[in-house]
Amino acid sequence: MTQHDTSDPDCVSIPQIEAAINVWRNRNPSMFETDVLVLCAEARCLADLYGELIFTRETSVSRESLTQAQLAALADALT
């Protein structure tokens, strides 16, 4: 991943990913299974992306580099 302009429509920013995760958490609240927090599939795939961006200290990611699941979760949450 490389650093991208956060106003670029071909990129997704950390705040957009956070917003989408929160939408999914509200639609499908997390559950605890044997003391482990379980997110719905949509929030989980976005949380993995979010964690990767934080770890690599990037502020956005190109839409081209996202999986189909990540793109669908973003589109369903933010439209």
**Angle made by CA atoms 55, 36, 30, in degrees to the nearest 5:** 85
Residue 1, pLDDT score: 45
CA proximity to 41, closest of 78, 77, 3: 77
pTM of the model: 0.83
What are the pLDDT digits (tens) for 25-43? Answer: 999 887 776 777 788 999 9
Question: Given CA atoms 31, 68, 22, 18 in this order, what sign does their dihedral have?
Answer: positive
For helices 41-56 and 68-78, what crossing angle results, to 10°? 110
Span 62-78, average pLDDT: 97
